[in-house]
Amino acid sequence: NQFRRRIDEAIRYFDDTGECLFCRTLEDELATGERVIFESKDFVACIPFAALSPFHIWIFPRRHSSSFDDITDAEITVLADTLKTVLAQLYYGLNDPDYNYSIRSIPTAEQGTKYFHWYIAIIPRVTKQAGFELGSGMFINTALPEESAEFLRSIVIPSDCNF
């Protein structure tokens, strides 16, 4: 399971460094800004360095939190606005693509851990998996994340956007 592997990687990183891998990733993304597509008071949306597919997006809370269950009412409102903006960027920039999204959160029983940081993953379906991907379980991304991020940042969302 891909998510279980992600948790195991986070635990290994934390054991080696004493830091949350995702907090470090967020810090690095904000430092360069190259892959950041949107920032709000409480959230940052970026295209990960090793994105699985073109325009794959992660939305991180700025505050370290291992579980989505920890989100405050105020943060929910900001997250809704963040999601609206990011999804509008996809809608207008990529002609309303199909997409999948998931909330990657630690199980409630492990809530409060220092090694994991919940986030939302959005994967627009702009390419098709072929024989190599299906046979090997490895992904080929033909787009540079920095260029994808630059493109999404350039999208002008109409003021009458109602979704």
Establish if 158 belongs to a structural domain.
no
Closest residue by Cα to residue 28 from 8, 11, 50, 52: 50
Establish if 163 belongs to a structural domain.
no
Predicted confidence at residue 110, as pLDDT, reads: 76
Predicted confidence at residue 134, as pLDDT, reads: 66
Q: Tens of pLDDT along 44-100?
A: 999 999 888 899 999 999 999 999 999 999 999 999 999 999 999 999 999 999 999
Please name the residue ranges forming H helices in the chain.
2-17, 21-32, 73-93, 131-136, 145-154
Establish if 13 belongs to a structural domain.
yes
CATH number at residue 110: 3.30.428.10
In this structure, what DSSP letter does residue 68 have?
Answer: G
Total domains in the chain come to 1
In this structure, what DSSP letter does residue 103 have?
Answer: E
pLDDT of 147 strictly over 80? yes
Kindly report the number of other CB atoms within 10 A of residue 8's CB atom: 10
Predicted confidence at residue 120, as pLDDT, reads: 98
Establish if 35 belongs to a structural domain.
yes
Enclosing domain of residue 15: 2-153
Q: Tens of pLDDT along 4-18?
A: 888 999 999 999 999
Establish if 23 belongs to a structural domain.
yes
Closest residue by Cα to residue 151 from 160, 143, 162, 163: 143
